[in-house]
């Protein structure tokens, strides 16, 4: 191996060590009891994705990143459950996970809600048949379906809460998807997380970088929008933001705050999460649906 390649390999290792340290520092600001509890519930995150393969040399980084994001997402779900009129109900709590790739979030929720004596019924939806089979193997109901086509199903989906984690940015038409879910389903809340960007952009990174080969919906971002722009789309398509929160992959202060430009260059600064409730007051003003 040439000296140049050796230096590049060494530099990459240093960068990942820095990012890992940044994640550890930013993770301290997440729900402190929730993250370790979730790690015990799902100790292995190796099956989180289907098409994306991770380098074993940097697996420690990917696991820490997923642990933080999952804790952020589940904290949003628990907050929404707390908003329900009757969280401790006689009927099971119904949760539909749109874009579920592994069933791990449902395992977290099933075990965490057992402590609150809340029974859960779930349904996962994914376009990837491999993901659907993986979820079914864990004992959950799942259907292979394009999320944008949910409104075309004969039976309307009845649920208390929709989950949509890091999924909206993959859709060709997120506006019509959100609009159809708002009009053609019954739910109390819709919870979504998306990558956090200060300025909106079109993703399509495989075209930006002139990458060869095919890509899938799972590994292709189309719209990467700022929180302000996502909020406008939510409002326009029939939803009201009742709670929002931002999680950054670097701490808000201290030495590792200096990794912020590194995150901007190599990944995303963090993630933006919302709890949405139906609100058709602005939908009805637009006469061209």
Q: What is the CATH number of the domain that holds 32?
A: 3.40.50.150
Q: Which of 194, 202, 190 is nearest to 162 (CA)?
A: 190
The boundaries of the domain holding residue 114 are: 3-45+56-285
Q: Span 109-130, mean pLDDT? A: 92
Cα–Cα dist 69/271, whole Å: 8
- Does 82 fall in a domain? yes
Domain presence at residue 36: yes
Number of domains the chain is built from:
1
pLDDT of residue 287: 78
What is the pTM assigned to this prediction? 0.92
pLDDT digits (tens, 9 = 90+) for 229-275: 999 999 999 999 999 999 999 999 999 999 999 999 999 999 999 99
Q: Is residue 50 part of a domain?
A: no
Q: What is the reported pLDDT for 210?
A: 84
Give the DSSP letter of residue 249. S
Whole-number pLDDT of residue 89: 63
Q: How confident is the model at residue 79 (pLDDT cuts 50, 70, 90)?
A: very high
**Residue 51 within any structural domain of the chain:** no
In a domain, 198, yes or no: yes
**Structure tokens given for 267:** 């990944």
User: Does the residue 29 lie in any domain?
Assistant: yes
In a domain, 253, yes or no: yes
């Amino acid at each position: 191996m040439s000296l140049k390649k050796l230096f590049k390999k060494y530099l990459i290792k240093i960068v990942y060590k820095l990012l890992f340290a940044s994640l550890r520092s930013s993770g301290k600001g997440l729900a402190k009891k929730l993250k370790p509890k979730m790690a015990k519930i799902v100790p292995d995150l190796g099956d989180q994705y289907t098409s994306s393969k991770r380098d074993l040399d940097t697996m420690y980084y990917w696991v820490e990143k997923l642990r933080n994001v999952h804790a952020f997402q589940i904290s949003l779900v628990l907050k929404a459950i707390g908003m329900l009129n009757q969280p401790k109900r006689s009927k099971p709590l119904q949760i539909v996970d749109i874009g579920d790739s592994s069933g791990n979030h449902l395992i977290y929720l099933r075990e965490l809600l057992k402590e609150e004596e809340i029974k859960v019924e779930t349904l996962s939806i994914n376009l990837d048949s491999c993901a659907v089979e993986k979820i079914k193997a864990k004992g959950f109901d799942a259907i292979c379906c394009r999320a944008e086509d949910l409104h075309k199903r004969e039976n309307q989906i009845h649920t208390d809460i929709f989950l949509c984690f890091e999924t909206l940015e993959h859709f060709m038409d997120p506006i019509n998807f959100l609009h159809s879910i708002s009009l053609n389903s019954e739910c109390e809340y819709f919870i979504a997380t998306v990558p956090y960007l200060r300025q909106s952009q079109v993703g399509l990174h495989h075209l930006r970088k002139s990458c060869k080969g095919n890509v899938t919906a799972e590994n292709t971002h189309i719209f990467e929008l700022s929180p302000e722009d996502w909020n406008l789309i939510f409002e326009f398509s029939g939803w009201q933001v009742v709670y929002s929160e931002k999680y950054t992959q670097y701490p808000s202060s201290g030495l590792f705050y200096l990794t912020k430009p590194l995150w901007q260059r190599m990944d995303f600064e963090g993630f933006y999460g919302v709890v949405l409730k139906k609100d058709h007051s602005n939908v009805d003003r637009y006469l061209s649906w």
